[in-house]
Chains A and B, each alone.
Chain A
Amino acid sequence: MGFVLGRLGQTVLVLLVAAFVSFSLFRYVGDPVNNMVGQTASLADREAMRAALGLDDPFVIQFFRFVGHALQGDFGISYRYGQPVSALIAERFPATLELALISMLIATGLGVPLGVWTALHRGHWLSQLLLAASLIGVALPTFLIGIALILTFSVWLGWLPSFGRGQVVSFGWWSTGLLSWSGIRALVLPSVTLGVFQLALIMRLARAEMLEVMRADFIRFARARGLRPRAIEYRHALRNTLVPVVTMIGLQFGNVFAFSIIVETVFQWPGLGLLVIQAIQFADVPLLAAYLVLIALCFALINLAVDLLYVAIDPRVKAAGLVGRAA
């Protein structure tokens, strides 16, 4: 429990730092008054606006006001869309989360078994082939993979759509493409594109870890105990392999979420990435600030989840956490 509380404290700290960065962005990039009243407003109007916005208050008070608003999901009004930033983000968030989740699911679901298999069958030709393929997967730029997939499956074969989200079903503010055939078809190419690099990475790491574990003393001792190969490979080796692999998968999930921008651009996927690209082009500072905080929140939550998962798989962490608190 102490372990969990400590981690929560760290999470809050990280979020405060992110809020500070995004607040600074908000406060010092461009002049918010200019943005709101326009270039032609009189000096008196500007002063009145400044006072109304609280821009004359001390820095610290302004910062805490920002945090207070952020906690209520209030990040102000988008310069470009003239709508509340939170509403814009809420609208786009499900698309990106779905894309990231599905691509990580593909990458993990294939990457871990393939990595383990290639480690256990090192000499096999298929293992060599997969290893070479994974190198390509790591090296190829994502947009190139996306374009190649579009060319093959949309343009030549005409099997799958090359852009958009297809038909979505809404539940309140949440919209999902997973419940309609066209939505699922639309998800295939972007999520594969986003997942290829992760798949290759996870496979290589799982393979390397598995090989490492198979050389460990306790595996040799398990052999000397006469355990069945299946028990040695899966009950002992695989579980020990998963500890570092789970961490990496968690961290990569944050990356996938944050860097879906490229894939969303290639596939015109109506998610956060696309929104942010446009926000950057128009210097839509409130939107950018909110996006920053959101990404930080995602990373923090993922880290927290990974840590908790660690406690669940590895009994040593639990002990270390308790000792760390006692010390």
Chain B
Amino acid sequence: MSALLKVESLRVEIAARTRILTAIDEVSFEISEGEILGVVGESGAGKSVTGTAVLGLLEKPAYQAGGRILFGGQRIDTLGEDALRTLRGKEIAAVFQDPLTSLDPLMTIGDQLVETIQTHLPLKAGEALERAGQLLAEVGIPAPRERLRSYPHELSGGMRQRVVLALAFCCEPRLIIADEPTTALDVSIQAQILDLLRRMCRERGTAVMLVTHDMGVIAEATDRVAVMYAGRIVEIGPTATLLVGASHPYTRGLMASIPDMRRREVELTQIPGSMPRPDAPVSGCAFHPRCSIAEARCSVERPDDVVIGPSRVACWFAGDTSRSVAR
């Protein structure tokens, strides 16, 4: 499979009042056509910033300070706003966390679908409306034709997130950035929405960058996982590999926190200590203060990426089996 999205050494800085903070540093990853890449990490690790950078939606005070983003082999981080805009919503779509606030409260669902469709596709109003109705049916909204005339407040949270999915899929994108698409929803509805997202992607071969806190979702829905820590990817590899044999001590900690696949919503903070913030960076490996196998060099030198089989790990002791047992 060829890489649909290729992010190389991405660096995002934030111009704070007095100095410049580094939110994302040396982040590289790929997503293949039709692949679902899970992105996990503690709150503030830089997951949303990474997704926002891919969408080209970074806003002051954050900006891309380095690296390249390629989509379908074409560099998109240097595109002008207009060219980027025609890509957004058409080739790369987004689903955000809160369906309650993602839709314009003053506009009917049908109008929001139609305006998105007509922005990107050369369809007449009637054809666009037809397509909008089909999309609502596809995301499982009952009586889709009548629902086109509804306003967002007339729908439940789960229904609204289905509408958001319809909006994301309305121009058959090749990639969807889904930033915690189910976190704001009722637990009982989370699985339905996730299944829907996964099914629609599989049917169409749409690739997804799926940001989540839910290790159960990672295990069930993703092909590969990227683990982020303090603005970097500390380990990335096939989900199956990471679940059973992660190389980074932080990933191992995360995986150990999935006691049971059926129990969702596990706390990611079972490892004692807290992640360094962009305004108080740590020298060497950002994880070393919390790491059980850290040595002197970990607090001084930042580890390089090491390729281990299908995975890539940023740890000085990656591949050192004696260490992983010793923990």
Q: Which of A220, A221, A222, A319 meets B153, CB within 8 Å?
A: A319
Q: Which of A221, A225, A316 meets B119, CB within 8 Å?
A: A225
With A315-B153, A316-B151, A316-B153 in contact, do A224 and B93 touch (Cβ < 8 Å)?
yes
- The minimal Cβ–Cβ distance linking A221 to chain B, given in whole angstroms, is 4
- The minimal Cβ–Cβ distance linking A220 to chain B, given in whole angstroms, is 7
Q: Which of B96, B103, B106, B154 meets A224, CB within 8 Å?
A: B96
Classify chain A's interface size. 20 to 34
Q: Are B55 and A240 in contact (CB under 8 A)?
A: no
Query: Interface readout for A264-305 with B: 1 if CB under 8 Å, 0 if not?
Result: 000000000000000000000000000000000000000000
- The minimal Cβ–Cβ distance linking B195 to chain A, given in whole angstroms, is 22
Q: How far is the CA of A243 from the CA of B107 in the complex (A)?
A: 13
With A226-B116, A227-B116 in contact, do A216 and B101 touch (Cβ < 8 Å)?
yes
The stretch that binds B, out of A18-26, A204-212, A231-239, is A231-239
Q: Are A226 and B119 in contact (CB under 8 A)?
A: yes
B148 at the interface (CB under 8 A from A): no
Q: Are A227 and B104 in contact (CB under 8 A)?
A: no
Q: List, in ascending order, chain B residues with CB within 8 A of A314's CB.
A: 105-106
With A225-B116, A319-B153 in contact, do A239 and B88 touch (Cβ < 8 Å)?
no
Q: Which residues, 61 to 115 on B, are CB-close (under 8 Å) to A? A: 85-90, 93-94, 96, 98, 101-107, 115
Q: List, in ascending order, chain B residues with CB within 8 A of A217's CB.
A: 96, 98, 101-102
A50 at the interface (CB under 8 A from B): no
A325 at the interface (CB under 8 A from B): no
Q: List, in ascending order, chain A residues with CB within 8 A of B294's CB.
A: none
Q: Could you list 7 further interchain pairs (A-B, Cβ under 8 angstroms) beyond the known A221-B103, A224-B177, A240-B105? A: A217-B101, A221-B96, A224-B94, A225-B119, A226-B87, A231-B119, A235-B115
Which residues of B are at the interface with A, using a C-beta cutoff of 8 A?
A: 55, 57, 85-90, 93-94, 96, 98, 101-107, 115-116, 119-120, 151, 153-154, 164, 167, 177
A-B contact pairs, 16 of them (CB 8 A): A218-B102, A221-B103, A221-B167, A225-B88, A225-B89, A225-B93, A225-B119, A226-B85, A226-B86, A227-B85, A229-B85, A231-B119, A236-B106, A313-B106, A314-B106, A315-B153
